[in-house]
Each structure stands twice: as C-alpha cells, then as structure tokens.
Structure 1
Amino acid sequence: MDQPHIEPPQGGKGEEQETRERILAAASQLMAKKGYKGATTRKISELAGVNEVTIFRHFKNKETILEELLKGILNIRQQLENHLHGEYSELREMLRRYAHGYYGMLVERKEILMICMIEADNHPEVIKLFSSVPVTAVEVLCSKLQQFQDQGHLPKKDSFTAALMFVSTFFYAFMAKHRINLALDLDEEQLVENACDILINGITDKQN
C-alpha cells in the first residue's frame, strides 16, 4: 500500500521551516499508527520526502521529535479560554461555543492524543500531558460557570461537577470514535444540544 503523501506547508515560510514541518507531520502520522518504536527515522524520512540525515540536522534525535509534537497539547488553556472570550447573554450560547471549540480541538490534535495513549507505558510523562487536556477543559468551563453564578445568572450549585459531566461527554465521544472505533452514528450538533440540555436542566432545575 502506498504511503500517504505529506504536502509541503503553504505560505511564505522558508525552506528549512517547511522541511521541519514536513518531518513533524510525517512523524505524527507514523507514531499515531505505529507507536514511537515503529516510527523509525527511516520511515519518517521516506514519508516526509527527505534524506534521513536531514532529520538529524533539524532534530537531535527521535526523542526530541516526540517532545516537539507533544508541545501541541501545552497551549490548550489559552485556546479554550479564547472560545469563551466576550460576554454571553445566554448560558446555552456559551455552552454551544465551548462544546464545538473543545471537540474541534480534540479532533485537531487527534494524532498527538493517539501518540500519548500508545506511548503512555513507555513514556510516563506523556500520560500527564494527555490527562491535562480534559482536566484543563473542566477548569476553564467551571470558571466560566462560576462567573455566571457570581453575576446572578445561575444558582449557586456545584459548577465543578456540571463542568466535569459536560466535558466528559465530548471527551468520551471523541475517544469512542477515534480510538475505540465504535460504529457510532454521531451527530455533533445533536450531541451538543443534548449535553447543553442536561447541564442547563441540572444546574437550573428548569428547561432553558
């Protein structure tokens, strides 16, 4: 079977930066499918369309490639907070935006998250990064729910549990589809609306 082709990055980046990004893209694809050991530098170079020597000109070793890939998880707090930036007149509006942003972020980082799961036993530090994704998502949403409470828009109920249940819905939907490969008839819009209904009804004791 032919290997998938890594397209060169578009834009005004220099040739060296484009080569570096092709190497990272190839490594990400291979590690997500074959694991760290299975993604040899030879296979990475073939998929990236570069000489193996070129890899070591950009990266000290394969470990540093993995470390660079995992950096993609470290900026999630800012990205999640950006989804909640601004004022919201309705709780449902805020929850919809957050749900779509969070689920989209998981899909966008699918390969990196798969690498974390595959390499959890061999690289214990990556499981901390992996677990930081849902934990951070809960913290950010919990903080926003508390703002609604402080402003008198929500009753003073357990915002942490509400945020935990909401975030878990999308995290496990992502896992079921992309890791366990369950044959789910997943309608993202309906999932968002149902999750919003459950949180709103639970925290306000009424239909919004």
Structure 2
Amino acid sequence: MPDQNEKWVTELLRLAEGDDGKKTEKQVRILEAAVEIFSEKGFAAASTSEIAQKAGVAEGTIFRHYKTKKDLLLSIAGPIATKLAAPFIMREFAAKVLDIRHERVEDLFRMIAKDRLAFARKHYKLLRILIHEIPFHPELMAQVQTLFKEIVFQRMEKIILHFQEQGQIIEAPPWRVLRTAVSLFVGMVVTRLLILPDDPIDEDEEIERTIDLLMHGLSPKPRV
C-alpha cells in the first residue's frame, strides 16, 4: 500500500536526527522500499537489487546515497532507537513524567507504558526492523546500550530513589528495578504487536495487569 509506505517514510525522515527534510524523490522511494523489505524479510535475506527494483531505481542509485546495505539499515534503525529514548531526553516530557510529580509510582509507570505502547503501534514496521536486527549488528546494540545507560537510567535513577525513600518500591539497586520494569513493558509490547497482534486484548487492562505484576510479583500472599 503506497500511502501506508509513505507514512512510514515521512515518520522516518522526521525521526532522523539532523534531517533537513531535503530528500530526493528517489531517496524517499529507496527508504520506502527498504522499510518494506527489511520488515518482511529481515536484513540478511534482503538484497539491494530487490530494494532497487521495488523502489524503481537502479541499484547503483542506492549506493550513491548509502555506501553499503548496512548503512541503509542503520539509516532506518538508528533514528528509531534514538526516538525510543527521546521522551527521556526531551525536557517537556521530563517535566510531565519524570520530575517526580506523581504521588504514586504506579501512576508514573502507567503514563510511561501508555506513551511507549502508543509509539510502538505508530512505528510498528520500523520497530520490527530494530527488534529483529539489534542482536546481529554491534553498532545498533552499542547505540541502544548507550541510550539506556547514559540517558534512560540516569533520568530514572533519581525517580526510583525518590519512591524508595517513600517506601513505595523495595530496597534494591535502581538498575535492577528499572531492568525489571523494562523487561515487563517490552514483553507486553512485543507480545501485543508481534506475537499476538490479532488477539482481542483490552490494552488498558493489560497495562494495569502488567503494572500490578510489577508492583506485587507472582506471590499469592495477601498484600499488606
């Protein structure tokens, strides 16, 4: 569907850091075709000749803009990885979500979960590429690790310590608390969008159950 592809490319161009929006028509078609093929077949199985054919350009045109197939992949996946951490970078989001303005830690987790689930749905095709390719490309893995360690964790550490002081979170290293929360929320998103996309799931309820599991674990003991 060309109109849907165009939305992916428009979003991708907007996500790319430093992008001035001055892409040629051929570049847009190349990105459009690459998103489609990388998402469906994966990086390893995709070929630049196939991408060129789908984009309606000569294969050499791709290499005039991107030196290698991997450069083309990184031009797609890199901006998405950055955008995933963007709320923890942007001051307006930090002021709304991360500046300890929530009385209950559940409210903070709920807001973040809803925001990132909405982002994942909006950029589903692009995220699928990122998720599939991170384990096989050290450059992508390093970028995600840097974003997590230097931005997400640093912003969240003081929030976790604040709620620990209030007795709302158990005494544990903040990185462990964050790792647990990230694991649950990423698992929820991946299951919802990739594994069981057609299941009739109430997403608000799923978020609430995930937060409940995060806060209380699997213990059947009565809550105090």
Other-structure match for 2:86: 78
Measured on the aligned residues, the alpha-carbon RMSD in Å equals: 3.9
Deviations 1:95-145 (A, max 9, x none): 221111232344445434433554467545445556778878973544422
Taking a change above 3 Å as real, the CA distance of residues 160 and 64 of structure 1, as seen in their structure-2 partners, is closer
Specify the code of the residue in structure 1 equivalent to 2:76.
Answer: L
Contact 2:77-2:126 at 8 Å conserved across structures? yes
Question: Compared with structure 1, are the counterparts of its residues 32 and 132 closer, same or farther at alpha carbon in structure 2 (3 Å cutoff)?
Answer: farther
Structure 1 equivalent of residue 184 of structure 2: 169
User: Whole-Å Cα distance in 1 between the matches of residues 151 and 202 of structure 2?
Assistant: 21
Match of residue 90 from structure 1: 103
TM-score, normalising length: structure 2: 0.66
- Percent sequence identity is 23
Q: TM-score by structure 1 length?
A: 0.69
Q: Which runs of 5+ in 1 are unaligned?
A: none
Label 1:149 to 1:102 Cα distance change in 2 as closer, same or farther (>3 A): same
Q: 1:192 aligns with which of 195, 207, 217?
A: 207
Query: Which residue does the alignment assign to 2:38?
Result: 31
- CA distance in 2 between counterparts of 1:33 and 1:63 reads 16
Residue matched to 1:69: 76
Is the 1:116–1:130 Cα contact (8 Å) retained in structure 2?
no
1:85 is paired with a residue of what secondary structure?
helix
Q: Is the 8 A contact 2:29 2:55 kept in 1?
A: yes
1:189 CA displacement: 1.0
In structure 2, the partner of 1:147 is 162
Instruction: Please tell me whether residue 100 in structure 1 is matched to residue 100 in structure 2.
Output: no
Equivalent position of 2:17 in the other structure: none
Task: Measure how far apart 1:58 and its partner are.
Answer: 1.5
1:133-183 superposed Cα distances (whole Å, 9 cap, x missing partner): 887897354442223345x47466224444333322221122224443476
Contact persistence 2:160–2:169 (CA under 8 A): no
* Secondary structure of the corresponding residue to residue 111 of structure 1: helix
Contact 1:116 1:127 in 2 (8 A): no
In the other structure, the counterpart of 1:43 is 50
Pair 1:141–1:189, CA change in 2 (3 A) = farther
Aligned residue pairs, count: 200
Shift of 1:54: 2.6
